[in-house]
Chains A and B, each alone.
Chain A
Amino acid sequence: MEKFSYVNATSLKQVTSLLSDSGWGEVMMIAGGTDLLAELKEYIETPKTLINLKTLPGMDSISADASGLKIGALTTVAEIAMHPTIQHHYTVLAQAAASVATPQIRNVGTLGGNLCQRPRCWYYRDETVSCLKKGGDLCYAVEGLSKYHAIFGGDPVYIVHPSDIAPALIALNASIKIVGPEGEKTIKVEDFFTLPAANPFRENVLEPNEIVVEVHVPKPNPNTKSLYLKAREKGAPDFALASVAGVFEVMGRTCQTASIVLGGVAPAPWRSTDAETALTGKMINDSVSAKAGKEAVKNAQPLNDNEYKVTLTQNLISRAAMMAVSK
């Protein structure tokens, strides 16, 4: 990696002022570092300054009350996965966090880092390949090898967003608090992520001088069943070939509401309103769940090597729907 200076963060104000005016890549933030360190070693990123966020006070805890959860951006993935309240009332989130990488990575990787991690695309991660995402001319996945790439929302960059936690948060209707030089703002996690058509170089709306500080998750209604299904080639560690974060309000076998967000299939977590519509208000059985899966992928646009993801996504959605109404 290139040499950089290392600054311990003391306050959010200091962080945003250090970030100010530098544009992307000159000054970067590091928390767990499980993603950034690899990017530095591979010369994908070559910042002049790294700000160590772990020294920021009060940003690494989980609080739960009747209205919901507040999770600091420095909370580790392991703490989210093992938190009893999250496991019980926000199951999809605990399951998603538990599916991330390995115990070692979960023990240091943070919520903020998980949401802001960069794509795993094998062209993007190869320093010697100048792809569109890095300012080059083309997305090599289009004509090249695309087994792990997007089937939705790709154009013009066919990466997939690697986060497991993001689809779970979106399915739970969570919000994200962002601090910048002008103060703080809170937006839906769903609106945090962007597609390459809007900006091929970034995966979210953060400005270069903004920082994610907290996530709020509203408490689900008591009749909610939520779950996270992640398909991968290897038990662990492996990123999702496709994943489904499902949050369902159920009465008996009837699905009153459904919130379904996909991971591993698009450059951003991908809400499937088609699947949600197909399930909402329905008595869930094999044919209804199968139809929901089918509806979800009707507009999929697979590349040369990832047609299988269409089937996989469809099957995972059906499975999730059936699991939502099973005992």
Chain B
Amino acid sequence: MASWGEASQSRLIGKRISRLSGKDKVTGKAKYTYDINRPGMLYARILRSDVAHAAVMNIDLSQAEALPGVKAVIPLTEAGRNLRYQGQEIAAVAAETDDIAKDALRLIFIELEELPFVVTEADAMAEDAPQIRDWEGNQSNPGVNEQGDIEAGFKEAAVTVEATYHTPVQTHVCLETHGNVTEWTDEQNLTVWASTQAVFGVRNDFARRFEIPANQVRVITEHMGGGFGSKFGPGVEGHTAAQLSRITGQPVKLMLTRRAEHLVAGNRPSMTQHVKAGASSDGRLVAYDMRGYGTGGISSGAGFQAPYVYHVENRKTERFNVATNAGNQRAMRAPGHPQGAFAMDSLMDELAEKLGMNPLEFRRINDSSEVRQAQYTLGAQEIGWHRRNTVPGSGTGVKKRGMGVGSGQWGGGGGRGTQARVTINADGTVEAVTGTQDIGTGIRTAIAIIVAEEFGLAPTDISVKVGDSGPGLPSGGSGGSQTTASVAPVIKTAAIAAKQKLFEHVAPLLKAPVDDLRVGTSTIYVASDRTNTVTWNQATGLLGQESISEGGNWDQELRQGGVAGTQFAEVEVDTQTGNVQVIKIVAVQDCGLAINRLTTESQINGGVIMGLGQTLLEERIMDPQTGRMLNANLEDYKVPGTYEIPEIKSIVFDTHRKVTGVGEPPCIPTLGAIANAVYNAIGVRIRELPITPDKVLTALAEKKA
């Protein structure tokens, strides 16, 4: 049975190793889908609805078709159908240049009959609201869950808190917008350069869509500029590109605009929770009653975790979706968790204060995770928890500091379905090939590290090929923090198998049994006689005209799911301007075995920054008057920049020697930690994200009054 061995035995695994593609990325050599240009390639654009709700009466494509340079125009809706949100697709154009495509869109004439719309949850739930989908009152049937005896719980409660917590819709803001370059090499063979998190998923989708064998679709994603859960399928834009490509017989590039990216490429649903909870005098959570909802736009899927992390014996939860005339939600980094964590960690602080308890102590009582118990101790020490205000808002001066804590949990144990090959060539070169994709997380480098460790080579000696369905070695989509735990065991076992084969070639030369062979630094030696050795290249030279090429298997002993995380925040609130500056985040992230400590820390940093953005800046702003998103850009949809990013102490809390993914979990505890720190600083609780200056100033003014 394979194992990752002891830390002391590892030469590369668990160390800080720069990502292999780093140089290509900073020099611009790395090619993203956006950078792909094919001979004879056309540029495609999509005409989208400006309005939130309308019936299509007529579409006239003739003038667009007549524009010189336009090669194809196709409708994406038709008379008699309804447009149900701003940004919904109406028609698409392929043209010789992007400018011509843009001009052609303005020559498509569409006759609409505007219909009543609702773009906010409040409007959707209003009594006289127009019903916009098959849900009475625009509300789905609530899911109700009841456990324990909630009445008894509230009787036992020494204190109760009743509050409403809200997080708005957040969009993914992938730096590389969604899109594809599609090329039919003949009528039955399609090649797609896709900005995707799921090379094989996209391959299979295109094959179904165009009714061709899956192995006649090749999907390539060498580098990817951010997905966060929104890039698992080809989307309307992908299907449209391939269709335009088929009609014209030319390659087609179709990338979404920034505006469309906000409108139609997915979002994290909103959350509103009305919660009442009670705690006993000795600090146990004894009752939890929550009614909540969210909007995923016109689709469902607006779920969230409640209660979260901390255990409550007696609980009742009721949650439902609210339909609005807005683009569909999609999975977004730890779906349902950050929202739930914000509400739960705020609630925990409110209860602790009523009990007169240190909020950290209150958590310790209600948290059954031993890992997190240890993280509380470490994190508190790192942030200097003893320095916090024991009385919230008691700091003096205009700029007030405060500290808070938040928690999270995730799975990340990976899954079956990855196939990989590790090949050793006679010239000493090594290739590792699998159909996973590096969506920025560094799996390419992790694969190289695993193989290099096994072979006694350097990571740069390993040629890693990922992000291509061509070799026919499938792997799952990169979601659910599953990639490393899905891929690493297969690569590891493939490398072991290949090494074994190489040893079989080398054993006669060294006149030693295979079992007695070991790898050193670019050498193979005999364990019982370390002077008996060959170099790596001498060994591989024995292969002559052959290569060794071995597959692996998903050895479950090499991976494990389930992680706990805790973060502590220190903030400074300018009480005159309402600005919240995060001074420091201590992120203690349980992650099992970190294959590459450097990229694991980067994952944590990235999660913290994303969580910070959701807490302090990000919000999709829908206008009830016009039905439009008012900030479908990066000017008024604000994401963290250099000034917002604090000192981040990312602590890789490796509790065991098995691989677990941590792509998602580090973005979860940040929300509660910052929100609670703001409260600790100013003594006024803001229960609605993002915590922007207007809310801080308004809250401070209400406190004063």
- Interface pair A128/B50, CB less than 8 Å apart: yes
> Which chain A positions have C-beta within 8 A of B628?
126, 128-129
Among B624, B631, B694, B698, the most chain A Cβ lie within 10 Å of the Cβ of B694
> What separation, in Å, do the CA atoms of A116 and B641 have in the docked complex?
27
> Which chain B positions have C-beta within 8 A of A308?
578, 693-695, 697-698
- Interface pair B697/A234, CB less than 8 Å apart: no
Report if B382 contacts A (CB, 8 A). no
Closest to B624 in A: A144
> What separation, in Å, do the CA atoms of A231 and B578 have in the docked complex?
9
Report if A140 contacts B (CB, 8 A). yes
**Known contacts A144-B623, A145-B623: A318-B698 contact under CB 8 Å:** no
> What separation, in Å, do the CA atoms of A122 and B262 have in the docked complex?
15
Closest to A322 in B: B398
Closest to A142 in B: B625
- Interface pair A235/B643, CB less than 8 Å apart: yes
Report if A319 contacts B (CB, 8 A). yes
Bitwise interface map of A from 41 to 84 toward B, beta carbon under 8 Å scored 1, else 0: 00000000000000000000000000000000000000000000
Report if B126 contacts A (CB, 8 A). no
- Interface pair A236/B641, CB less than 8 Å apart: yes
Segment from A88-96, A204-212, A309-317 that makes contact with B: A309-317
The binding surface of chain A is classed by DSSP as loop
> What separation, in Å, do the CA atoms of A174 and B642 have in the docked complex?
34
- Interface pair B638/A234, CB less than 8 Å apart: yes
Report if B358 contacts A (CB, 8 A). no
**Known contacts A128-B628, A140-B625, A318-B576: A235-B638 contact under CB 8 Å:** no
Report if B630 contacts A (CB, 8 A). yes
> What separation, in Å, do the CA atoms of A144 and B621 have in the docked complex?
11
Report if A184 contacts B (CB, 8 A). no
Q: How far is the CB of B702 from chain A (nearest CB, A)?
A: 11
> What separation, in Å, do the CA atoms of A147 and B694 have in the docked complex?
8
> Which chain B positions have C-beta within 8 A of A233?
579, 617, 638, 692-693
**Known contacts A312-B577, A312-B578, A315-B577: A235-B641 contact under CB 8 Å:** yes
- Interface pair B630/A126, CB less than 8 Å apart: yes
> Which chain A positions have C-beta within 8 A of B1?
none
Report if B367 contacts A (CB, 8 A). no
- Which of B50, B576, B630, B640 contacts A315, CB < 8 Å? B576
Closest to A43 in B: B106
Q: How far is the CB of A7 from chain B (nearest CB, A)?
A: 20
- Interface pair A145/B630, CB less than 8 Å apart: yes
Bitwise interface map of A from 93 to 123 toward B, beta carbon under 8 Å scored 1, else 0: 0000000000000000000000000001011
Report if B701 contacts A (CB, 8 A). yes
Bitwise interface map of B from 412 to 449 toward A, beta carbon under 8 Å scored 1, else 0: 00000000000000000000000000000000000000
> Which chain A positions have C-beta within 8 A of B398?
319
Report if A238 contacts B (CB, 8 A). yes
> Which chain B positions have C-beta within 8 A of A306?
694
**Known contacts A236-B643, A238-B638, A305-B694: A311-B579 contact under CB 8 Å:** no
> Which chain B positions have C-beta within 8 A of A309?
694
> Which chain B positions have C-beta within 8 A of A238?
638
- Which of A122, A143, A311 contacts B697, CB < 8 Å? A311
Report if B390 contacts A (CB, 8 A). no
Report if B644 contacts A (CB, 8 A). yes
Report if B636 contacts A (CB, 8 A). yes
Among A144, A233, A238, the most chain B Cβ lie within 10 Å of the Cβ of A233
Q: How far is the CB of A159 from chain B (nearest CB, A)?
A: 14
Closest to B704 in A: A311
> What separation, in Å, do the CA atoms of A308 and B623 have in the docked complex?
20
- Interface pair A234/B630, CB less than 8 Å apart: no
- Interface pair B636/A122, CB less than 8 Å apart: yes
> Which chain A positions have C-beta within 8 A of B701?
311
Q: How far is the CB of B114 from chain A (nearest CB, A)?
A: 12
**Known contacts A143-B625, A308-B697: A122-B630 contact under CB 8 Å:** yes
Bitwise interface map of B from 637 to 651 toward A, beta carbon under 8 Å scored 1, else 0: 010111110000000
- Interface pair A129/B693, CB less than 8 Å apart: no
> Which chain A positions have C-beta within 8 A of B694?
147, 241, 305-306, 308-309
Can you give 18 contacting A-B residue pairs, CB < 8 Å?
A: A122-B631, A123-B626, A126-B628, A140-B626, A144-B623, A231-B577, A233-B693, A234-B638, A234-B640, A234-B641, A238-B638, A241-B694, A306-B694, A312-B576, A312-B577, A312-B578, A315-B577, A318-B576
The 9 closest A-B pairs by CB, nearest first: A235-B643, A315-B576, A308-B694, A128-B50, A122-B630, A144-B625, A308-B697, A231-B577, A311-B697
- 13 additional contacts (CB under 8 A) given A122-B621, A147-B694, A233-B617: A140-B623, A140-B626, A145-B630, A148-B636, A233-B692, A234-B640, A235-B644, A236-B642, A241-B693, A308-B694, A312-B576, A312-B578, A315-B577
